[in-house]
C-alpha cells in the first residue's frame, strides 16, 4: 500500500508538471500592462470620469451662451348666456353655444452680459477640475500598474520556486533509485530507502502546494488585466534593474511629477478661482432680454370685435445689483480664503510626507539590492557545497542525512534569492511611482 500511494503521488506530480510546461504563451510585463490599460475596470471607470469632466468643462456648460425659450398655447371656449339691458326698449340678448378660441406663441431670449465675472472664474474652475480628474485617472493607472507588477512578479517568483522544487524532487527521486540499488546489493539498510521515500513524498507535497499557489497567482494576474490573458500562459522571469537611477534627479522630478503634489496644487488653484467667483457677488449683473410674440383671438358674437391677430418684438436690458445680501457673500469669501489657507498648509505637510516616503523607499531599494547580491553569493556557495556533497554521497563518504541537508540548504538559498530579487524590483517600482517616473519607465 505504501508503494502504491507513493506511485500515485509521483504520477500526480508528473501530470502537474506536464500541464504547466504545456503553456507556451509567455506574457511580458509590457504586454500585461497593455492589457490592463485596455481592460482593467478601474481604469475604464477613471476614463469615464475624465470624459464627464471634459463635458462639464465645455462652452455648453459655461453659462456664456444665451437661453432661448419657446412658449405656445391654445384656448377654446363654448359659452351660453342671457344679457338684459337697463334700457327697457332693448330686448334681452340670449347667446347659446357661442364658440371662441385664442392662440399664442412666443420666443423668449435671456442673455447675461455681465455677472461680476462669476461665470468667468466658474468656467476656469471647470477647466481645472477637468485637469484634476486627468491627474486622478493617472493616479488610478499608476496604482493599477503597481498592483499588476506586484502580482506579475509574484507569479514569476512562484514560477521559479516551482522550478526549484521540481529540481529538488528530481534529485530526491534519483537518490531513492540509488539507495534502492544499494539495498539490493546489500550496501545499506531498509531505513535508507524509507528515509528517501519520505523525502520524495515531502518534496512532492511541496511541489503540489506550490503548483496551486502558482495557479491562484495567475488568476490574480488575469483579474487585474480584466481576464484578457489566455488560460495557459507563462511570465518572463528575467529581471533588469534600473541601476542608473540617480537619487537627486528623482527627488527633483518628485516635486514636479508626483501625482499627490500635482493634485493638491490644482486644488489650490481651484480654490483661488472659487474666491474670485464668490467676490462676483459684490458687483452688479447686466442682462439682455428679447421676445417675439404672436397672438390670435376668434371671439364669439357677444364681442363687438370678431377676430384679432397681432405680433411683435420687444427687447430690453436689465441691471441687478444686490447691494447687501445679509452678509452671505462676505461669509462665503472668508470661508473660501480659510479653505485656501488650509490647502496651502496641507501642501506643505504633503511635501514633507512625500519626501520622507521617497527617502524611505530609496533606502529600502538600496538595501534590497544589497540583500539580493548577497543572496546571489549565497546561492553560489550553497550550489558548490551541494555538488561536493553529492559527489561524496555517490562515493559513500557522507550519509543520506548530510546529503539531504545540503539539498535543503541549496533549495533554501534558491527560494531566498528569488524572494530577494523580486522584493528589490518591487522596491524599485515604489521609488519610480513616488518620483512620478513610473509611466516613463520600461519593465
User: Which residue from 213, 173, 217 is spatially nearest to 14, judged by alpha carbons?
Assistant: 173
* pTM for this predicted structure: 0.84
Sequence spans of domains, the chain = 2-67+116-284+324-440
Closest CA to 402 of 381, 388, 416: 388
Measured over the CA atoms of residue 409, residue 415, residue 417 and residue 423, the dihedral's sign is negative
Q: Give the mean model confidence (pLDDT) for residues 371-391.
A: 96
- In this structure, how many other beta carbons lie within 10 angstroms of the beta carbon of residue 63? 15
What burial class does residue 20 get, using C-beta atoms within 10 Å of its C-beta: 0-12 exposed, 13-18 middle, 19+ buried?
A: middle
Distance of CA 318 to the CA centre of its chain: 49
184 pLDDT band (50/70/90 cuts)? confident
pLDDT tens-digit map of 291-333: 999 888 887 665 666 678 888 899 999 999 988 889 999 999 9
pLDDT of 8 higher than 50? no
Which positions ≥6 away from 246 have C-beta within 8 Å?
Answer: none
Res. 221: pLDDT tops 70: yes
**C-alpha dist (Å) from residue 430 to 77, 135, 221, 354, 441:** 79, 18, 19, 12, 12
pLDDT at res. 309: 86
Rounded Cα–Cα distance for residues 376 and 417 (Å): 6
pLDDT at 420: 98
pLDDT band at 205 (very low <50, low <70, confident <90, very high): very high
CA angle 385, 388, 391 (to 5 degrees): 145
Across residues 277-290, what is the average pLDDT? 93
User: How large is the C-alpha radius of gyration of the chain?
Assistant: 41
State how far the Cα of 310 lies from the Cα of 287, in Å rounded to an integer.
27
Strands 234-235, 26-27: pairing kind: parallel
Mean pLDDT, rounded, for 206-217: 97
What's the pLDDT score for residue 113? 93
pLDDT tens digit sequence for 229-268? 887 899 999 999 998 899 999 999 999 999 999 999 999 9
- Render pLDDT for 58-96 as a digit per residue (tens, 0 to 9): 999 988 999 999 999 998 887 766 666 666 666 666 777
Please report which helix (H) or strand (E) contains residue 369, including its range. helix 328-394
Mean pLDDT of the region 144-172? 97
Among candidates 342, 320, 319, 339, which has minimal Cα distance to 278?
A: 339
- What pLDDT, on the 0 to 100 scale, is given for residue 302? 59
Q: pLDDT at position 23, please?
A: 44
Q: How far apart are CA 304 and CA 164, in angstroms?
A: 109
Instruction: Classify 94 as helix, strand or coil.
Output: strand
Dihedral over alpha carbons 18, 24, 25, 30 (to 10 degrees): 100
Q: What is the mean pLDDT of the segment spanning 391-402?
A: 90
Region 24-50: mean pLDDT is: 93
To which residue does cell 468667468 refer? 120
Domain 2-67+116-284+324-440 top-level CATH class: mainly alpha
| Lowest mean per-residue pLDDT among 149-158, 271-280, 295-304, 362-371 | 295-304
Mean residue pLDDT across the chain:
89
Region of residue 288 (left: phi > 0; alpha: psi -120 to 50; beta: else): beta
Cα 128 off chain centre by: 20
**316 pairs with which residues across the strands?**
289
Q: Which residues pair with 104 in a beta bridge?
A: 73, 295
What is the per-residue pLDDT for 99?
A: 77
**Does residue 104 surpass a pLDDT of 50?**
yes
Q: Beta strands 93-114 and 67-83: pairing type?
A: antiparallel
How far is the C-alpha of 229 from the C-alpha of 174, rounded, in Å? Answer: 37
Amino acid at each position: 500500500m505504501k508503494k502504491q500511494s507513493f506511485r500515485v503521488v509521483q504520477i500526480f506530480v508528473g501530470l502537474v508538471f506536464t500541464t504547466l510546461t504545456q503553456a507556451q504563451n509567455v506574457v511580458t510585463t509590457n504586454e500585461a500592462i497593455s492589457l490592463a490599460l485596455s481592460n482593467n475596470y478601474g481604469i475604464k471607470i477613471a476614463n469615464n470620469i475624465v470624459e464627464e469632466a471634459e463635458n462639464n468643462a465645455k462652452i455648453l456648460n459655461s453659462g456664456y451662451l444665451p437661453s432661448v425659450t419657446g412658449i405656445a398655447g391654445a384656448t377654446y371656449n363654448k359659452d351660453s348666456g342671457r344679457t338684459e339691458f337697463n334700457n327697457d326698449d332693448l330686448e334681452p340678448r340670449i347667446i347659446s353655444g357661442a364658440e371662441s378660441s385664442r392662440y399664442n406663441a412666443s420666443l423668449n431670449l435671456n442673455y447675461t452680459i455681465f455677472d461680476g465675472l462669476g461665470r468667468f472664474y466658474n468656467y476656469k474652475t471647470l477647466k481645472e477640475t477637468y485637469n484634476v480628474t486627468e491627474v486622478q485617472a493617472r493616479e488610478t493607472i499608476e496604482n493599477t500598474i503597481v498592483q499588476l507588477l506586484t502580482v506579475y512578479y509574484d507569479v514569476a517568483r512562484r514560477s521559479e520556486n516551482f522550478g526549484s522544487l521540481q529540481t529538488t524532487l528530481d534529485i530526491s527521486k534519483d537518490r531513492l533509485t540509488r539507495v534502492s540499488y544499494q539495498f539490493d546489493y546489500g550496501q545499506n539498510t531498509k531505513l535508507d530507502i524509507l528515509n528517501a521515500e519520505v523525502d520524495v513524498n515531502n518534496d512532492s507535497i511541496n511541489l503540489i502546494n506550490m503548483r496551486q499557489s502558482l495557479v491562484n497567482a495567475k488568476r490574480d494576474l488575469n483579474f487585474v488585466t480584466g481576464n484578457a490573458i489566455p488560460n495557459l500562459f507563462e511570465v518572463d522571469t528575467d529581471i533588469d534593474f534600473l541601476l542608473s537611477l540617480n537619487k537627486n534627479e528623482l527627488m527633483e522630478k518628485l516635486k514636479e511629477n508626483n501625482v499627490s503634489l500635482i493634485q493638491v496644487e490644482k486644488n489650490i488653484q481651484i480654490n483661488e478661482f472659487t474666491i474670485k467667483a464668490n467676490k462676483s457677488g459684490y458687483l452688479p449683473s447686466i442682462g439682455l432680454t428679447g421676445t417675439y410674440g404672436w397672438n390670435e383671438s376668434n371671439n364669439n358674437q357677444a364681442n363687438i370685435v370678431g377676430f384679432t391677430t397681432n405680433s411683435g418684438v420687444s427687447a430690453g436690458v436689465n441691471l441687478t445689483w444686490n447691494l447687501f445680501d445679509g452678509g452671505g457673500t462676505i461669509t462665503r469669501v472668508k470661508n473660501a480664503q480659510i479653505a485656501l489657507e488650509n490647502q496651502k498648509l496641507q501642501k506643505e505637510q504633503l511635501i514633507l510626507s512625500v519626501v520622507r516616503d521617497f527617502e524611505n523607499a530609496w533606502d529600502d531599494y538600496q538595501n534590497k539590492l544589497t540583500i539580493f547580491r548577497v543572496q546571489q553569493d549565497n546561492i553560489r556557495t550553497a550550489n558548490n557545497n551541494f555538488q561536493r556533497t553529492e559527489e561524496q554521497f555517490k562515493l559513500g563518504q557522507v550519509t543520506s542525512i548530510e546529503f539531504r541537508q545540503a539539498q535543503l540548504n541549496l533549495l533554501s538559498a534558491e527560494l531566498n534569492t528569488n524572494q530577494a530579487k523580486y522584493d528589490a524590483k518591487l522596491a524599485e517600482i515604489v521609488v519610480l511611482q513616488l518620483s512620478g517616473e513610473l509611466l516613463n519607465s520600461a519593465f
